[in-house]
Amino acid sequence: MQKTDNSLIPNILLRIAGFQLNMALKRASRNPRKAQELTLRSILNYAKDSVYGKEHNFAYVLEAEDAEELFIRYQNAVPAQDYEQLRPYVERHKLGEENVLFPGKPRMYATTSGTTKQPKWIPLTNIYLKNVYQKMTHLWLYNYIRHKRKTFAGKVVFVVSSATEGYAPDGTVYGAVSGVLQKDAPELIRQLYASVPEIFEIKDYAARYYTLMRITVEQYVTLVIMPNPSSVVEMQNALTEHYEAICDDIEKGTISEEFDIPDNIRESLLSRIKPNPERAEELRQLKREHEEVLPKHYWPDVQILSTWKCGNTQIYVEKFKDWFPENCFYQELGYFATECRFGLVLDDTVNSVLFPHYHYYEFVEESEIGKPNASFLQLDELVEGKRYCPYVTTFSGLYRYNMSDLVEVGPSFWRTPTVHMVQKVNGIVSMTGEKLYEGQYIAAVREAEKQLKMKTRFFVGFADLSAMAYQFYYEFVNQKTTQEAAERFSKRVDEILQRINIEYKAKRESFRLKEPKTHRLKRDAFANFKKKSIADGTGRDGQFKVNLLMQDDKRKEKFDLLSDDN
């Protein structure tokens, strides 16, 4: 394997760009309230002549004389909202209408699952991609070389979803935000990609991961980036399962015909590779020396591994904590979502530094989440150690948008609080990024009942991190329902969920989520669960209710005792 240090030019250029961006971040972070005032004024001024801006009196809001008045006017003019309130405006953009949420039309849409059967189409504007995404990406990459000078000595493995998945009715492209992130990197970094973008256009997951490892394990890699840490496990599984086939392909300069790879992608990839018997023999020797060949063996000089480490992703982190070189710096990727690149982690913690000069942030304290008259706090009002639900306003048409996340405040960066992700809120469960809504699960069960003519008296679902599968519990009206029939019912629920939730479908097809497990509940399961909960003090009779989809091991254990498994 050829080891050539390519880091000189990237380091010089990233230091020039990154230093200036870092200084701007520090200036804004020293006075977050002033920075937030300027940012909100900039966003409202940008969009004041749009349909949404006129309907919500942005021009009047901008007449405020100081920050406090501006924030109050904005809260009075624009309701806190989720995507469904913005959907009608986005639909008008999708049909080609300009100046609806902002001037002109979106550059593209990033897609993600929504609370209804329809996915969310998050508009991304040119100004947001250029002045927020791109600048944050440059600072992000600059921060890598501050920690590890040789980060770009070799190639970069950047695992993403496809940036181009289709087109809106007016021809505007839509795709995954991780793909946008990859495309948004500077050209000098894109030239270092070991994981070329074509790989992520392969639809078949087994073929995609085989090709990813066949292409990248041959190369000298020093940086590995992937939002979801489950991808690390999937990559390693693909290599372990097909080790000899990958060695053969590397030796011959081929890509196995056993996998479903579109001809144009196969041809493009084959044009970039050639027989490499020396590397094939190196890999075979590693196999002779180790029972399982791991990244620390085939990529011994990896400087940085960057993935999510917070919340539910921790279960994957535990699986590969010893897989990488001892001196590899494992950095939390940071708090960002399809809707917003909220912040960046700049150190060895899990806390994201926020960008008060790029986004306008508001927060609701955990105890007030869901209350009709909840108080909204400004960024500089957050208290370290407390948890909040964030709302964001962006240059891409999101106004007082509920992120539906629970974040915890960490130490301040200068005078600006940092945050890290804890979990989803408001009826959303996510083990590996699928973001399954309680309402979707309820709708799927009801539809399965109609299709299969099997009626339930009660049902509940649990996210089981230990199994990476959902556990579905049903009390059927017909208590003679067999386990086989119950499993058919669960299979139909699973199929419906895949149809109505694009991210759940993706995670099931990639085997990140396993097939749901099925349990039949005994008669009066809910009544008995309620009795047990009241008896042990975890519920109150007059206020008793239970979510029908949750991640709660203690409640799951109670339903285990009420199932026919016992």
Query: Is the domain of 229 the same as that of 321?
Result: yes
pLDDT level of residue 117 (50, 70, 90 thresholds): low
Q: How many CB atoms lie within 10 A of CB 559?
A: 23
Last residue of a domain, one of 332, 361, 391: 332
Q: How many CB atoms lie within 10 A of CB 258?
A: 11
Query: Shortest CA distance to 158 belongs to which of 327, 306, 346?
Result: 306
Mean pLDDT, the chain, as a whole number?
91
Residue 118, in any domain of the structure: no
**Around 286, how many Cα atoms within 13 Å sit in the side-chain half-sphere?**
23
Query: Is the domain of 191 the same as that of 278?
Result: yes
- DSSP code of residue 387: E
What percent of the chain clears pLDDT 70, i.e. is strictly above it? 96
Q: How far is CA 337 from CA 140, 311, 326, 463, 469, in A?
A: 16, 14, 30, 21, 23
Query: Is the domain of 393 the same as that of 496?
Result: no
The more confidently predicted of residues 556 and 311 is 556
Query: Is the domain of 420 the same as that of 437?
Result: no
Last residue of a domain, one of 273, 299, 332: 332
Query: Is the domain of 415 the same as that of 439?
Result: no
Query: Mean pLDDT throughout 214-223?
Result: 96
Query: Is the domain of 29 the same as that of 154?
Result: no
Lookup result for tokens 């279960």: 315
Query: Mean pLDDT throughout 518-532?
Result: 88
- φ, ψ of residue 11 in degrees (nearest 5): -65, -45
Q: Contact at 8 Å (CB) between 99 and 370?
A: no
**CA dihedral (251, 254, 257, 261) positive or negative:** positive
Instruction: Tell me the C-alpha distance between 8 and 264, whole Å.
Output: 34
Q: Is the pLDDT of residue 539 over 60?
A: no
Residue 109, in any domain of the structure: no
Query: Is the domain of 405 the same as that of 435?
Result: no
Q: Is the pLDDT of residue 333 over 80?
A: yes
Query: Mean pLDDT throughout 224-243?
Result: 90
Query: Is the domain of 310 the same as that of 212?
Result: yes
Query: Mean pLDDT throughout 443-459?
Result: 95
- DSSP track, 286-320: HHHH-SS--HHHHSTT--EEEE--SGGGHHHHHHT
pLDDT tens digits for 406-435?
A: 899 999 999 999 999 887 786 788 888 888
Q: Contact at 8 Å (CB) between 172 and 193?
A: no
The β-bridge partners of 167 are 173
Residue 343, in any domain of the structure: no
pLDDT tens digits for 271-314?
A: 999 999 999 999 999 999 999 999 999 999 999 999 988 766 76
Overall pTM surpassing 0.85 (yes/no): no
Residue 566, in any domain of the structure: no
Instruction: Tell me the C-alpha distance between 373 and 296, whole Å.
Output: 53
pLDDT tens digits for 8-39?
A: 888 898 899 899 999 999 999 999 999 999 99
pLDDT tens digits for 175-209?
A: 877 777 677 677 777 888 998 888 988 988 889 99
Query: Shortest CA distance to 185 belongs to which of 125, 148, 134?
Result: 134
Query: Is the domain of 406 the same as that of 451?
Result: no
Residue 82, in any domain of the structure: yes
Query: b/e for 404-430, b at 16 or more Cβ within 10 A?
Result: bbbbbbbebbeebbbbbbebbbebbbb
Residue 41, in any domain of the structure: yes
Q: Contact at 8 Å (CB) between 41 and 64?
A: no
How confident is the model at residue 538, as a pLDDT? Answer: 56
State which H helix or E strand residue 353 sits in. Answer: strand 352-354
Lookup result for tokens 């994201």: 352
Sheet strand arrangement including 517-520: 517-520, 469-476, 456-464, 549-550
Residue 2, in any domain of the structure: no
Q: Contact at 8 Å (CB) between 529 and 562?
A: yes
Residue 116, in any domain of the structure: no
User: Whole domain around residue 88: which residue ranges?
Assistant: 8-101+348-424
Number of domains in the chain: 3
- DSSP code of residue 187: H
Q: Contact at 8 Å (CB) between 276 and 253?
A: yes
State which H helix or E strand residue 68 sits in. Answer: helix 67-77
- DSSP track, 515-544: PPEEEEBPTTHHHHHHHHHHHTTS--TTT-
The β-bridge partners of 224 are 157, 305
**Around 534, how many Cα atoms within 13 Å sit in the side-chain half-sphere?**
12
Query: Is the domain of 546 the same as that of 399?
Result: no
Last residue of a domain, one of 405, 424, 443: 424
Query: Is the domain of 277 the same as that of 364?
Result: no
Query: Is the domain of 371 the same as that of 222?
Result: no
